[in-house]
A and B are shown apart, each in its own frame.
Chain A
Amino acid sequence: GAVVSQHPSRVICKSGTSVKIECRSLDFQATTMFWYRQFPKQSLMLMATSNEGSKATYEQGVEKDKFLINHASLTLSTLTVTSAHPEDSSFYICSAYETGYTDTQYFGPGTRLTVL
């Protein structure tokens, strides 16, 4: 299957700092990528849909100014958590579509964010 990478895999930061997470499709082009958040022992919650060359579409309840998404190329989307606070600590995971018969979403390995 297609490969999606995510960087960094783990980050610890102080409250008030901003953190950027990168999501890359390594062997295919992805016009659409998705960002999810997952709390321990819970399911994935969609945060936003990232479209190459246009503004991201955010799910209800997700703060646009808090979670900045940029999809500047067909292989890269970034999520920036601005002015992070302890409640932003979570597992963030991205996915990208490989178009084809199944239109399967392939996921990155995730980023564990801990805000102190």
Chain B
Amino acid sequence: AQKITQTQPGMFVQEKEAVTLDCTYDTSDPSYGLFWYKQPSSGEMIFLIYQGSYDQQNATEGRYSLNFQKARKSANLVISASQLGDSAMYFCAMREGPGSARQLTFGSGTQLTVLP
């Protein structure tokens, strides 16, 4: 079974609108971390936001927020006030288990295009 599922291969959003990128995960470990990364056409992976499994509140970082629904095992990324520079591939990733130095499992990604 897929550990991280991103069901939207491509998304379009109008500039200045908000957009939600979906991510569901599957794990039996009670301790895990969820990450979102942005990959522009240059290829670099840019860390956006983190949500820990024990965090009570949804994570927010500037225009990025993570809609964490633990019972549904979903961790959707919300980008508010989209900008042209937000056009990129977005990956959801999970680290299972406590402690550092554990590998990440990535979803297949969502290509976001912001329209002027």
Chain A positions near chain B (C-beta within 8 angstroms)? 1, 31-32, 34, 38, 42-44, 46, 49, 91, 93, 95, 97, 99, 101-110, 112
**How far apart sit A99 and B103, CA to CA, in the bound complex (Å)?**
13
Interface of A: prevailing SS: strand
Residues B106 and A44 in contact, CB atoms below 8 Å apart: yes
Question: A43 near B107 (CB under 8 angstroms)?
Answer: yes
Q: Does B100 contact A (CB under 8 A)?
A: yes
- Which residue on chain A has the smallest CB distance to residue B44? A109
Counting chain B residues whose Cβ lies within 8 A of the other chain, the interface size class is 20 to 34
Query: Which residues of B approach A to under 8 Å, CB–CB?
Result: 33, 35, 37, 42-47, 50, 52, 91, 95, 99-104, 106-109
Whether A97 and B100, one on each chain, are in contact in the complex, defined by CB atoms closer than 8 angstroms, is yes
Q: How far, in angstroms, from A110 to B43 measured CA to CA in the complex?
A: 7
Q: In the bound complex, what is the Cα–Cα distance between A95 and B45 (angstroms)?
A: 9
Q: Which residues of A contact B44 (CB under 8 A)?
A: 107-110
Chain B residue at smallest Cβ distance from A91? B43
A43-B37 CB under 8 A given contacts A99-B100, A109-B42, A109-B44: no
Expressed in whole angstroms, the Cα–Cα distance for A31 and B99 within the complex equals: 13
Cβ of B47 and Cβ of A1 under 8 Å apart?
A: yes
Within the complex, the shortest CB–CB distance from A98 to chain B, in Å, comes to: 9
Nearest first, the 9 closest Cβ-Cβ pairs linking A and B are A107-B45, A32-B101, A103-B100, A110-B43, A102-B50, A109-B44, A99-B100, A43-B106, A44-B106
